[in-house]
Structure 1
């Protein structure tokens, strides 16, 4: 079977149409699905084809709005809402217990949620918020519901875990493993925190694929530069204006070198990572503009020694080992 060649301009709907057969019958969980975000667009498009789409968020009202919007457009969609606050390990455990109580197995887990930058902020577990939401919470969630993913494995199917990372991982020199467990406000900058968190996503995909040994395949990706709800949060707006990503009025800067994607284009690479059969032989791959782009990973984010150490540090933080 031949599949289309995807590009920068490819939309999520185009990807879903190309892989409709692969998506059919699948159960997918997506974190961070508030409206006006790429997680919502991913869920909306998948709802047209998948057996079950589990949408998550920490805000009950916003989650209800997302479910309502999808069901209004696609009445036959099978949508299930799950309250999930990735900044709290206790909340992650509660959500995971709920997922494990579902009668259905899980084919794909998409880690899409991100925390806006801004000033140094600790979670209830005394972790830096951006790293907690991007790496530590998702690590614990994956560990706790891994059996749900493994239950879908067969001779013809390998379950997938997808991490929505960012090209911004290249703007930091590396991950300070000491501050992952012991955050230091003196070493923190908003952009640095974001870059380290997104570097962690890439390392997590590489290490998870390595340890799973073909039982689960993990991928990471840069979705592109998209004007989403996170850009408009006060915590992140000032940094984006300072970096020239947004104009002083808070709107996208379209006059510079940045090529902006629409929401539909922004969600496309996530769907490729989740369903493209051509990636089956490339576990741990990093995607850009809907294709594998391992050559675009900064050296610190593809270092196997760092990936293994980050895994161990995260195990120590959650107080559990994660092995297959």
Structure 2
């Protein structure tokens, strides 16, 4: 008798990919933000064992090459396509999307994993705050431009997916609609911008699923507390030390109320969101520990009025309108 797979805090990306290898086979997947020693790389690595094609992205071509070589060394038969992409630049996003759109293959899954965390206030070349540009506006535009590729993969038995890697931080944030198009340095804080971005990730997944009317299923998720470069920022270190997550040595505190995950554990929920067939009837869901956890979404971020408002403002800012 077959049993439904069950996942937990300790589940790894490898576990999930092995469980859903039949769903991954033949799929073309794009993962943004795939530098070594990150959850995006781990996501791409385990998917590459079974997928038809894995497109990996990064804004630094040399680091992107290292990721490609590492995957190919472990999995010589993997079909890896490196794509230079700077999500903070609309021009770079358009160039990267145009490159993918010239390829003959459809796109089954888009994983918006890349993020800019805890950075000082700075405007992008498009006049937007860098953290929100990289974490929300860039991925939104990229998703819009690749939507035809995603729609081309749909069949009567398969619905393409978009996965937004958010954070438990969404529960503490709310989008400041007044400063999206006109950033206000006086009101800026690194943590505040991060919370807004993670809130936007959840709202966008909900609204994308709604507007596509069954043609694209979008999900958002909390990967877990993972000790990455984001915790090397002095301001972030001070905040997490005050909460007991980091010790005096600036390393993860084993006794933290917020338990730490390894990178393989942190990438697990992303792979589940991309391939767990049980999610097909739960478009717009939010996942934690590789399972649906909609009860953890802050009321602000599950409010359809906020989701629609953010969508409309974002389309105006990027100068692009979604069509399905």
What TM-score, normalized to structure 1? Answer: 0.96
**Count of aligned positions:** 323
Aligned to 1:183: 183
Structure 1 residue 103: deviation in Å? 1.5
Per-residue CA deviations over 1:132-165 (Å, capped at 9, x if unaligned) read 1111001100111100000000011000000000
SS state at 1:17 partner: helix
When structure 1 is superposed on structure 2, of 63-72 and 121-130 the one drifting more is 121-130
Aligned to 1:40: 41
Q: Distance in 2 between matches of 1:66 and 1:2?
A: 35
Structure 1 residue 234: deviation in Å? 6.1
Q: Is the 8 A contact 1:118 1:236 kept in 2?
A: no
Q: Distance in 1 between matches of 2:240 and 2:122?
A: 18
Distance 1:243 1:262, change over 3 A: same
When structure 1 is superposed on structure 2, of 124-133 and 78-87 the one drifting more is 124-133
Q: Distance in 2 between matches of 1:157 and 1:322?
A: 21
SS state at 2:148 partner: helix
Q: Is the 8 A contact 2:245 2:257 kept in 1?
A: no
Q: Distance in 1 between matches of 2:285 and 2:257?
A: 26
SS state at 2:162 partner: strand
Aligned to 1:105: 106
Q: Is the 8 A contact 1:175 1:300 kept in 2?
A: no
Q: Distance in 1 between matches of 2:309 and 2:45?
A: 36
Q: Is the 8 A contact 2:106 2:153 kept in 1?
A: yes
Residue segments in structure 1 that go unaligned for 5+ positions in a row? none
Per-residue CA deviations over 1:189-237 (Å, capped at 9, x if unaligned) read 1111111100000000000000000000000000000112333356754
Structure 1 residue 128: deviation in Å? 1.1
Aligned to 1:258: 258
Q: Distance in 2 between matches of 1:188 and 1:54?
A: 34
Aligned to 1:246: 246
Structure 1 residue 255: deviation in Å? 2.5
Q: Distance in 1 between matches of 2:149 and 2:110?
A: 10
Q: Is the 8 A contact 1:116 1:236 kept in 2?
A: no
Q: Is the 8 A contact 1:60 1:83 kept in 2?
A: yes
Runs ≥4 residues deviating over 6 A: none
RMSD: 1.4
Structure 1 residue 239: deviation in Å? 4.7
Q: Distance in 1 between matches of 2:51 and 2:310?
A: 33
Q: Does 1:66 align with 2:80?
A: no
Residue segments in structure 2 that go unaligned for 5+ positions in a row? none
